[in-house]
Amino acid sequence: MNTDKNVGRPISRLEGREKVTGAARYAAEHPLEGLLHGYVVSSPITKGKIVEIDTTEAMAIPGVVDILSHLNRPKLAWFDLQYTDMDAPPGTVFKPLYDENILYNGQPVALVVARDFETARYASTRIVLRYQQEPHQTCLEKHLDKARAPKKGLATALKPPPPPPTGDFENAFENAAVKVSATYHHGTEHHNPIELFATTTLYQGDGKLTIYDKTQGTINNQLFIANVFGLHYKDVRVLAPFVGGAFGSGLRPQYQLFLCVMAALHLKSHVRVVLDRKQMFSFSHRPPAVQQMHFATDINGKLTALGHNTLAETSNFEDYTEPTSNWSHKLYPAPNTLFEHKVVPLDVYTPMDMRAPGGSTALHAIECTMDELAYKLKIDPLELRLLNYSDVDPSAGKPYTSKALRECYLEAAAKFGWDKRIAEPRSMQRGNKLVGYGMATGIWDAFQFPSRVQIMINSEGKMVVDNATTDIGTGTLTVMTQIAADELGLEMADVEFRYGDSKKPFSMFQGGSAITSSTGVAIVVAARSMRKKLLKKAAEMEGSPFRKAKEEEVVFSSGHIHLKNDPTVKISLKDIIAFNKGAAIKTTKMGRPHMLKLRKYSLATHSASFVEVEVDRDLGTITLTRAVTAVAAGKIINPKTAKSQILGSMVWGISKALHEESIMDPQLGKYINANLGEYHIPVHADIGELEVIFADEKDSLINELGTKGVGEIGLVGMPAAISNAIYHATGKRIYKLPIHFDELI
Amino acid sequence: METDPQHPHPQGMETHLITLKINGKQHSTNIRPWVSLLDCLRDHLDLTGTKKGCDHGQCGACTVICDGKRILSCLSLAVMKDGAEITTVEGIATKNGLHPLQQAFIDHDAFQCGYCTPGQLCSALGLLSEGRASSREEVKELMSGNLCRCGANVGIIDAIMQVKDGGSDE
């Protein structure tokens, strides 16, 4: 880094003004002359075949332009491979309107296209659809006997299967001094960003398409559309300047994109397709899971055996897996381990990554089991963690590039007032409320993806930085602008970061808490090259004081190159570009993880969450009164937006522990609470006092910036901390999420 | 075509000329009775600042101020509001710049994706003019019709409290 003027400062979101004035336009908000409106018809049955689609009445409604189904859709790509995407799990990709087969409830079976939204929606109710139903299986708990090993594929690279067994787990567990066995049950969750999934396709008429899409990956969706519809990728441009939340649901191209583009190409018109809230429950979810835990310690509390077996739902067409059973041994050393992860294929849509996939589910089970052990051992739960603390990753036998988890534990405990906890359950109260303290650990990946960035210095001496990433509300625009400004010693106002556009240089989708480290590092690498170019050009200028200057002898600040030992000697970037005949100087570089060096290390973010709950003695109602989460995630580029990421994911932790769940009716094979009235997420009144601490964690190994990403880690420890607090308050251990008041009466 | 009272057929559906005073400006539009105020704003008047999150009155993203009261524009038909005076997020800022509440939202990082933000802002302005909420707990309760999936709740309430206590309710 050249200077550290902006990085590390709590700068307000640069797009804030657009977001508070309504000027920010999301995928469904781009007005086009003659725009047609598509409305999706969803299957009311769960499994079987469509035997008849009668559109006579619907087509006769004035304003209806077309109704597309598998019977009359345009010819499509034939090979499954052409439908694949960067986040596709192993299996056969779901192809909308492909044939008469119904694979899951809510599957899109037709698209009504009309001149206005209301007519399209009305016409969708006048289509007569006849089905032949077949028996279905949609309940995980009922079909655990179907569990099998998941298939492996490309996506397995980011989601490795659990490590092989070590020692002699069965013997060690059988003969252990202290042990806990427990089975945890987790329900289905849906991402439910408040923005509905939507696509607006601008049909340009010259073989080119411009697509405003709700996505976390502009290039992922660009390539998908090019492959499926046989277009050159250069003729497809996907734009996502503003994304109204996604939380993983935008990692894969969703069916509204496919249907919208298909209709636009077929009708040679601009088309918009927006899903309704019920349909937001029809394309991806966090899978329900059953986790069997077997942890044991010696009489002093040292872990001797770790067993974690996960059975999780997937669809009948793709094998979705998320790392669950992998985590305990990354935190705690134990000589004997046995980890398994199996999938149960059911007649549902394929599950998908949802904020902290696997980790948030697994750490709940792991950290509640640790809590149970602590009570059995009569050791403070925090003491038990510290007793089993490891600076290395026991599962890989490698050191972490950095690990300030101990600092997280101690700083959060002190801030929270953990020392005021009375160990015995049901021993603390406030009026008619039982008060409980609970804590838990969080751990999450520190990913970095390859990312390509173009930097340009224009004739005004200003910096333009291009990358295809989105900003789904994470603060990417602000953070990248901070990094770029410091790299060339410019004011943030003199830097423009352009993003959310598949035409920009390559970025993976925005997921895995990876973009700050991915695009951020690419900016560092490209800026290094730009500094060289600018110095070289400056040296060519007539009478240049930089003729013999080496890179390490100059500094970039205030829009100039200066000599380090005599800062009064300087040339402005604007003058360099003028000398270049006004032509902008550009460079494009790839940032990538240092695989060879990093092979010797494990990479992770860590957190510690401490929570206080109140439980009403008579009604069992649970109130989260306060929580403190300390996070160790390397360097924090922007403490303001990073804090919001942690606060937001703490709210997600509260939601997972106490509120949200999609209820599957196994008779009907569908979610019966597919709306925001019955799918509960926390409202303002549900949120107590939340505090965030960033532990000081310097990481000179992980990447050029020393960053690890903060999008998910704040969620991971919260559900267990809440469950443990509820146990402390009530003496009741609830082995499922979400926990409801009726379970505590 | 047979008529089915359960399913009104759009062929017989007439458009109505309505006038709405939105953010101080008169807008006249010909509209069918089945168009919600929300879709009228977004699709007919290109005022897309008001957001659609559920279309069922469950999320609050479509909150606007109608004749001084905060309402869910997805639960009102546009024709019912003929002659009404409406403030949307596009009309909150003053000539001198952002409304103090808008600035407080930026300062407190009271949003991430920004999609629920227009509804939160309109709802909060409605709340402040209702004068019912005095404590932080009451503000939380009376803002609970506006969901935020990014979890910016703390920032949202902090921003509202700052403006409420600063007395900058304009």
Segment A359-393, tens digit of pLDDT: 999 999 999 999 999 999 999 999 999 999 999 99
- CA distance linking residue A315 with residue A91, whole number of Å: 10
Residues 6+ apart with CB under 8 A from B6: none
Please name the amino acid found at residue B82: D
Cβ–Cβ contact A20 with B under 8 A? yes
Check CB contact under 8 Å for A16 and B106: yes
DSSP B169: -
Nearest by CB to residue A276, choosing from B49, B55, B90, is B55
Confidence of residue B154 (pLDDT cuts 50, 70, 90): very high
Size of interface A-B (CB pairs under 8 A): 184
Cα A536 to Cα A417: distance, rounded to the nearest angstrom: 57
Coil, helix or strand at residue A21: helix
Task: Answer whether residue A80 shows pLDDT above 80.
Answer: no
pLDDT tens-digit map of A439-461? 999 999 999 999 999 999 999 99
Predicted confidence at residue B166, as pLDDT, reads 84
Pairing state of beta strands A433-445 and A428-430? antiparallel
The answer to whether B55 contacts A242, with C-beta atoms less than 8 Å apart, is no
pLDDT band at A666 (very low <50, low <70, confident <90, very high): very high
Q: In what order do the strands lie in the sheet with A463-466?
A: A495-498, A463-466, A451-457, A585-591
Mean per-residue pLDDT, A341-349: 98
Q: How far apart are CA A39 and CA A358, in angstroms?
A: 33
Selected residue with higher pLDDT from A627 and A82: A627
Q: Do A474 and B112 touch (CB under 8 A)?
A: yes
Work out the mean pLDDT of chain A and round it to a whole number.
96
pLDDT of residue B2 exceeding 50, the answer is: no
Question: A585 near A540, Cβ under 8 Å?
Answer: no
Residue-level length of chain A: 745
Please name which of A117, A303, A574 lies closest in space to residue B55, comparing C-alpha atoms.
A117
pLDDT value for A156 = 77
- Collapsing DSSP to helix, strand or coil, A344 comes out as strand
pLDDT for the residue numbered A78: 63
Question: CB-based contact (8 Å) between A34 and chain B?
Answer: no
Over residues B26-63, the pLDDT tens digits come to 999 999 999 999 999 999 999 999 999 999 999 999 99
- Mean pLDDT of the region A653-667: 98
What's the rounded mean pLDDT across residues A108-123?
97
| Residue among A736, A723, A726, A739 nearest A616 (CA) | A726
Decide if A660 contacts A189 (C-beta within 8 A). Answer: yes
Fold for domain B10-91?
Ubiquitin-like (UB roll) (3.10.20)
CATH: 1.10.150.120, 1.20.1340.10, 1.10.3720.10, 1.20.1740.10. Which one for B100-166? Answer: 1.10.150.120
* CA–CA dist A345, A321 (Å, integer): 11
Token pair in block for residue B54: 């559920």
Please tell me the distance from the alpha carbon of residue A496 to that of residue A488, in angstroms, as a whole number: 13
Whether pLDDT at B10 is above 60: yes
pLDDT at A3 over 90: no
Domain range list for chain B: 10-91, 100-166
With cut-offs at 50, 70 and 90, classify the pLDDT of residue B1.
Answer: very low
pLDDT band at A499 (very low <50, low <70, confident <90, very high): very high
B83–chain A nearest CA distance, Å:
23
Higher local confidence (pLDDT), B10 or A356: A356
Tokens of A651: 């709210």
Does the pLDDT at position B3 exceed 70? no
Q: Which residues of B touch A15 (CB under 8 A)?
A: 114
> Does residue A687 sit at the B interface (CB-CB below 8 Å)?
yes
pLDDT higher than 90, residue A2? no
With an 8 Å Cβ cutoff, is A473 touching chain B?
A: yes
Taking residues B96-125, report their average pLDDT: 97
Structure confidence at residue A154 (pLDDT)? 79
Distance of CA A406 to the CA centre of its chain: 26
Angle, CA A219 vertex, CA A218 and CA A224 arms, to 5°: 105
The percent of residues in chain B predicted with pLDDT above 90, rounded, is: 84
Query: Nearest residue of B to residue A679 by CA position?
Result: B58
**Which tokens belong to A235?**
């003729």
Q: Does A133 contact B at CB distance below 8 Å?
A: no
pLDDT of residue A75 exceeding 70, the answer is: yes
Which of A735, A245, A274 shows the shortest CA–CA distance to B149?
A245
Per-residue pLDDT, averaged over B156-164, amounts to 97
Q: Domains along chain A?
A: 36-135+194-246+250-281 (3.90.1170.50), 143-189+285-447+599-744 (3.30.365.10), 450-592 (3.30.365.10)
B151: closest CA among B113, B123, B121? B113
What pLDDT does residue B9 have?
62
Complete edge-to-edge strand list for the sheet that includes strand A433-445: A428-430, A433-445, A604-616, A622-632, A689-694
* B128 half-sphere exposure, CB direction, 13 A CA radius: 22
Nearest CA in chain A to B42: A29
CA distance A591 to chain B (A): 26
**What ipTM was reported for this prediction?**
0.97
At B170 the pLDDT is 42
Measured CA to CA, the distance from residue A8 to residue A479 in angstroms comes to 10
Is pLDDT above 60 for B141?
Answer: yes
Burial of B160 (0-12, 13-18, 19+ CB in 10 A): buried
Q: Which of B46, B88, B140 is closest, CB to CB, to A31?
A: B46
Q: Where are the beta strands (DSSP E) in A255-335?
A: 271-274, 289-297, 303-315
**Is the CB of A645 less than 8 angstroms away from the CB of B112?**
yes
Nearest to A648 among B92, B121, B151 (CB): B151
Question: What's the pLDDT tens digit per position in B71-109?
Answer: 999 999 999 999 999 999 999 998 889 999 999 999 999
Cβ <8 Å between B53 and A196 = yes
Confidence of residue B5 (pLDDT cuts 50, 70, 90): low
- A738 prior amide bond cis, ω within 30: yes
Residue of chain B whose Cα is closest to the Cα of A190: B149
Q: A188 vs chain B: nearest CA distance in angstroms?
A: 17
Place of tokens 């969803």: A42
Is A281 part of the contact surface with chain B (CB cutoff 8 Å)? no
Q: What one-character DSSP code corresponds to residue A585?
A: E
Asked if the Cβ–Cβ distance from B47 to A22 is below 8 Å, we say yes
Place of tokens 């609470």: A673
Please judge whether B113 and A681 are an interchain contact, meaning their C-beta atoms are less than 8 angstroms apart.
no
- pLDDT, tens digit, 9 for 90 and up, residues A207-233: 899 999 999 999 999 999 999 999 999
Taking contacts as CB-CB distances below 8 angstroms, the residues of chain B near A641 are 109
A598 touches chain B (CB under 8 A): no
Pairing of strands A689-694, A622-632: parallel
Q: CA-CA distance, A432 to A614, in Å (whole number)? A: 9
Interfacial A residues in 611-640 facing B (CB < 8 Å): 640
User: Measured between CA atoms, how close is A277 to chain B, in angstroms?
Assistant: 5
Please determine, for residue A525, whether its predicted confidence score (pLDDT) is greater than 60: yes
Owner of token pair 């060289």: A532
Residue B169: which pLDDT band, with cuts at 50, 70 and 90? Answer: very low
Give the model's pLDDT for residue B52.
98
Contact yes or no for A590/A704 (Cβ under 8 A): no
Chain A residues touching residue B53 (CB < 8 angstroms): 194-196, 277, 676
What's the predicted TM-score (pTM) here?
A: 0.97
Between CA A67 and CA A121 the distance in angstroms is: 12
Predicted pLDDT of residue A233: 96
Name every residue whose Cβ is closer than 8 Å to that of residue A84 and which is 6 or more positions away in sequence: A93, A224, A227
- In sequence order, the 6+-apart residues with CB closer than 8 A to the CB of A698 are A402, A634, A635, A706
